[in-house]
């Protein structure tokens, strides 16, 4: 079982971000208590440990004190448990990283960090409204390299409309030899500051050619440096695949705790309510703080397709056939057309998207959905 804990607090709102978080930290203490209560609730509902991975994401989990983090991991361990081989990840922002914090995080039980670097260009960080500077990122990474955390991942964003130098940012990140890199193409999401600026014409969307060039640079440089591009946005050195995310992609059950978190047990999907105060109120009252939905065969098929096409090995056609809703057939005509235009490869019983067309993954997936 994989356990995700959502920590819905950030120091400031990044302009591109559509994750659930609040910039008010007034409810932090109460939220930590609520998350431990929610963990104990799910333990009584057929969710059994041990956890093969635990992931604290957000939001910005590193805004919590070591004591608060310990309280959450202790509750997770008490109710579900894990082994020495389990991956226990903490998402951190560079401004929170110091030798003392790293030592605390390690003694609390974390064995992997995911660091939100995004860019090394000061103008990019300002444009994104990140709460840290490039200098703080450098200091954080130096401290991590001198700590017991040998397993860490860096988050980066490319395809920015800022005209900054993506290859330089990427090279700076790789100089710290991260075992894992998650590199995301900038998304323009409704409801974000960036989304509003684009909608009102105050911000131009990134040029397609420049986004494609950033993506091609990313794929080339990562390959030259010996990283496996194992998922659309994920690169790793040998043995450093993210166990937690690989679980999502294999369709394994996962339990999500905290406002906005999702869970999936193989047939039912849950989504927790979002506003922090509402989540806390419902949990306190004992009235459902989540919605639940039984997935129908069509949704399961489309989800398997969507997840599988993000992976380097692609999606097994036999697996898709086994999931076909009755009366449905594989989308052979769409497969033929996509294969003819080079957007889809049929190899070893799998459909997969060539790396160079990774940016078209959503478009290709939509064409194949039932």
Of residues 58 and 358, the one with the C-beta less far from ligand SF4: 58
CA quadruple 293, 296, 300, 302: dihedral, nearest 10: -110
The smaller minimum CB distance to ligand SF4, of residues 98 and 150, is found at 98
Q: To which residue do tokens 């050195």 refer?
A: 237
Give me the least distance between CB of 66 and ligand SF4, in Å please: 19
Q: Shortest distance, CB of residue 72 to ligand SF4, whole angstroms?
A: 17
* Binding residues vs ligand SF4 (CB under 6 A): 10, 13-14, 17, 19, 21, 58-60, 93, 116
Of 59 and 256, nearer to ligand SF4 (C-beta) is: 59
Give whichever of 68 and 86 is closer to ligand SF4, judged by the CB atom.
68
Contacts of 237 (CB under 8 A, 6+ apart): 179, 180, 226, 227, 228
Beta partners for 273? none
CA dihedral angle for residue 199, residue 200, residue 203, residue 204, rounded to 10 degrees: 60
Please report how close the Cβ of residue 149 comes to ligand SF4 at its closest, in angstroms: 20
Judged by beta carbon, residue 16 or residue 290, the one nearer ligand SF4 is: 16
CB of 14 to ligand SF4, least distance (A): 3
- Which residues of the chain form beta strands (DSSP E)? 2-7, 51-58, 82-92, 112-118, 152-158, 180-185, 228-231, 234-236, 254-257, 262-264, 268-272, 290-294, 315-316, 345-347, 350-352
- Closer residue to ligand SF4, CB minimum distance, 131 or 302: 131
Q: Helix, strand, or coil here: 173?
A: helix
Least distance from ligand SF4 to the Cβ atom of residue 93, Å: 6
Q: Return the residue matching tokens 């991260």.
A: 178
- Give the pair of three-digit tokens for residue 153: 């991942």
Quickly list DSSP for 257-323.
ESTT-EEE-SSEEEEE--SHHHHHHHHHHTS--EEEEEPPHHHHHHHHHHHHTTBTT-EEHHHHHHH
| Residue 19 vs 249, nearer CB to ligand SF4 | 19
| Least gap, CB of 314 to ligand SF4 (angstroms) | 29
CB of 63 to ligand SF4, least distance (A): 9
Strand, coil or helix: 44? coil
The SS3 assignment for 92 reads strand
Q: Closest CB to ligand SF4 among 8 and 178?
A: 8
CB of 298 to ligand SF4, least distance (A): 32
């Amino acid at each position: 079982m994989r356990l995700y804990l959502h920590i819905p607090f950030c120091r400031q709102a990044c302009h591109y971000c559509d994750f659930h978080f609040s910039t008010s930290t007034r409810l932090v203490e109460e939220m930590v208590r609520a998350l431990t209560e929610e963990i104990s609730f799910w333990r009584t509902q057929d969710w059994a440990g041990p956890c093969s991975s635990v992931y604290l994401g957000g939001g910005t989990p590193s805004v919590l004190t070591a004591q608060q983090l310990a309280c959450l991991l202790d509750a997770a361990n008490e109710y579900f448990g894990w082994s020495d081989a389990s991956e226990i990840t903490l998402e951190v922002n560079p401004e929170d990283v110091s030798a003392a914090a790293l030592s605390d995080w390690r003694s609390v039980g974390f064995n992997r960090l995911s660091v939100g670097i995004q860019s090394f260009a000061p103008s990019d960080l300002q444009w994104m409204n990140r709460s840290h500077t490039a200098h703080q990122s450098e200091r954080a990474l130096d401290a991590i390299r001198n700590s017991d955390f040998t397993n860490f991942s860096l988050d980066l964003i490319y395809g920015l409309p800022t005209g900054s130098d993506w290859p330089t940012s990427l090279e700076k990140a790789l100089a710290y030899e991260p075992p894992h890199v998650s590199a995301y193409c900038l998304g323009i999401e409704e409801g974000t500051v960036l989304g509003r600026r684009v909608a009102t014409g105050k911000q131009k969307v990134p040029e397609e050619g420049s986004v494609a060039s950033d993506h091609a640079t990313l794929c080339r440089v990562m390959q030259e440096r010996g990283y496996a591009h194992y998922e659309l946005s994920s690169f790793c050195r040998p043995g450093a695949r993210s166990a937690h995310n690989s679980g999502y992609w294999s369709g394994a059950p996962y339990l999500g705790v905290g406002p906005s978190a999702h869970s999936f047990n193989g047939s039912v999907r849950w989504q927790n309510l979002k506003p922090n105060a509402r989540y806390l109120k419902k949990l306190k009252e004992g009235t459902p703080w989540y919605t639940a939905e039984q997935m129908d065969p069509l949704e399961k098929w489309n989800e398997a397709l969507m997840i599988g096409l993000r992976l380097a090995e692609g999606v097994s056609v036999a697996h898709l056939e086994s999931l076909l809703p009755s009366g449905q057939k594989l989308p052979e005509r769409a497969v033929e057309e996509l294969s003819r235009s080079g957007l889809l490869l049929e190899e070893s019983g799998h459909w997969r998207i060539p790396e160079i067309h990774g940016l078209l993954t959503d478009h290709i997936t939509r064409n194949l959905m039932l």
